[in-house]
Structure 1
């Protein structure tokens, strides 16, 4: 479509969230220890309609600095003089946090920031930043649907911490969600889960082991190969990669598995089929049935391939979604293997 006369073609429009100063804005923010107080009647509307802030005595609500900035953008509340300068001097991540609040609330969802005596605080897990309700619900009468954390895209990724948090949240009956804000103040929301992938193939422990020589080679001449989820049929034999070769050696010798062979064994015993994930940038693409019968639902990365930042994790999750698969991290744990899935979501749709 042609642009208007005298104008230049533009790309994606970026909202810069300006700080506004006009007579129509309500000057109601009062500095208090721990945040910014808003008194009735405006406080009643903020809480009853949007569950913004923490209710305090006298019918007032106490907003966090990031909530106060959100209310400036979306609830027509004026900011005190030098608000941005003073808040950023105290917390350089404060603006990113306000964008994270906006990301959750932009579709009409409700987000309650976790503070002392927050609604349903008994459900709050360690490191949870806020709790989310669907637009038709309210903290005063309903349970939250999710617990939320937020990060800047350049933040380090601690998968051990995330896995522990996700398990705790799921035990409480909520979803685990993360908001990631980048350096341009764009935000993306992810659902984190602990999947339990299972397949239809017979696990090796239920199959009679093949009779081979003393050493296992990378290529095995064998008719009627009994392990359909190990090796690739090629040139009249079975070709193994290094992980499969090590797994087969342990399997035939009755030795304990370790490292990548341990993780492969966990997948095989779940009835899954693991094939190389080279073209997807991961260790394995994992099937729940024979390759001829299904597509691979999962792309799995092992510990040595784990992303180091949220930028890397978000890229992998997005690439996986682009080929209709879920990206999953697999790690060894005391109970066998643990899984963490990161999937991009759109709230309110």
Structure 2
């Protein structure tokens, strides 16, 4: 029954064959020259070289032509009718086991019409040492404008080094570029992400908004709490002054253990380190369990009954270990129209890293 109910066709998988495709409309009247070895790069003569460099941002200008990285050569083979020597790909793979992955990533990164240039061709812009390529908007010239993005890539099976990733994102943002991550799986299929920091701010009443009388009321009610396996139960609703904390059930307030700990901490000496939970609640947000969405918390910026939670949050110590797990978390969040964020602490300040799926051609 499941197969019969499908009314869509799966997308066509690009196979990227080696060998020039016969196309009478787009093929050149005169065959292009085969790239020749030039040091650790590849040479194409003018006028073809000049045209590829000026119009497509490919290669570096050298005497009588351009020099290309290997991934640019394969891009030109797939998209610009440039022929290859026999077994050229095999020879490149002898020296670079990631060559196919990098070539596919480079091809996909340009599929939206943007100019993407490997960092090996960049000398006039600052970029992070982990960056793979810089990208320009399709309606901007790479000769007289700044790049809009810095791109890096990972295998889906690779582990995520969150501290290193955070440092790279910070460097890219400081350079006034957008951090983009391309993740490739063993099928040579690619998922693209844009990374940014979210401002998690809500409109709820916070602790400092309460009067001394209200704070005393909470302290008194806490002293009468009944312990449960998940926290505690406080009988009575009329006097509970902090609507962002606790859930109404059985004509009383049910508090989770983390909520109890947060409330009790307000009556003790303040600590230098502010917990993630405390920072979010003190920012006017409501935190509810996110187990149904595979995360620590659903984070609301308004009353739970008025709006959906904009964010699904995972603390760093519970964050995905691999990019496969990141992909699953982000897809689940976006499937329910929410943003996935990871809570990171930097210099005793909390930051919220959003990883969002993205497609080429959407600037």
The question of 1:75 aligning with 2:80 is answered: yes
- After superposition, residues 204-223 of structure 1 pair within 5 angstroms as 204-208=207-211, 209=215, 210-212=218-220, 217=227, 218-222=232-236, 223=238
SS at match of 2:58: coil
Residue 40 of structure 1 and its aligned partner are, at CA, apart by 0.8
SS at match of 2:320: coil
Residue 343 of structure 2 contacts residue 351 of structure 2 at CA under 8 Å; is this kept in 1?
yes
**C-alpha RMSD of matched pairs (Å):** 2.2
Aligned counterparts of 1:13 and 1:295: Cα–Cα separation in 2:
35
Match of 1:288 in 2: 301
Q: Is the 8 A contact 1:163 1:194 kept in 2?
A: no
Q: Is the 8 A contact 1:286 1:296 kept in 2?
A: yes
CA contact (8 A) 2:202 2:284 kept: yes
Report runs of 4+ in structure 1 exceeding 4 Å deviation: 21-25, 213-217
In the alignment, which residue of structure 1 is the partner of 2:261?
246
Counterpart-to-counterpart distance in 2, 1:204 and 1:91: 57
CA distance in 2, matches of 1:67, 1:281: 40
Answer yes or no: is the 8 Å Cα contact 1:114–1:121 preserved in 2. Answer: no
Are the equivalent residues in 1 in contact too, given 2:33–2:44 (CA < 8 A)? no
Distance in 1 between residues matched to 2:145 and 2:324, nearest whole Å = 34
Cα pair distance change 1:270/1:72, threshold 3 Å? same
Further displaced range: 214-223 or 236-245: 214-223
How many Å separate the matches in 2 of 1:214 and 1:255? 20
- Aligned to 1:202, which of 188, 192, 205? 205
Q: How does 1:1-349 map to 2 (within 5 A)?
A: 12-20=11-19, 26-53=32-59, 55-58=60-63, 60-115=65-120, 118=122, 120-122=124-126, 124-208=127-211, 209=215, 210-212=218-220, 217=227, 218-222=232-236, 223-256=238-271, 262-349=275-362
What is the aligned residue count?
335
Deviations 1:283-312 (A, max 9, x none): 011111111222111000112321111111
SS for the counterpart of 2:219 is coil
Q: Calculate the TM-score normalised by the size of structure 1.
A: 0.89
Would you say the 8 A contact 1:247–1:262 is kept in 2?
Answer: no
Q: Structure 2: how far apart are the matches of 1:198 and 1:326? A: 14
Task: Give the Cα separation in 1 of the matches to 2:357 and 2:205.
Answer: 32
**Is 1:37–1:61's contact at 8 Å kept on the other side of the alignment?**
yes
1:152: Cα distance to partner? 1.5
User: Structure 1 CA distance, aligned partners of 2:171 and 2:177?
Assistant: 9
Query: 1:5 is matched with which residue?
Result: none
CA contact (8 A) 2:224 2:234 kept: no
TM-score, normalised to structure 2, is 0.86
Secondary structure of the structure 2 residue equivalent to 1:265? helix
Aligned counterparts of 1:343 and 1:128: Cα–Cα separation in 2:
19
Which structure 1 residue ranges, 5 or more long, are not aligned? 1-9
What are the ranges of 5 or more consecutive residues in structure 2 without an aligned counterpart?
A: 1-8
The Cα of 1:171 is off from its aligned counterpart by 1.8
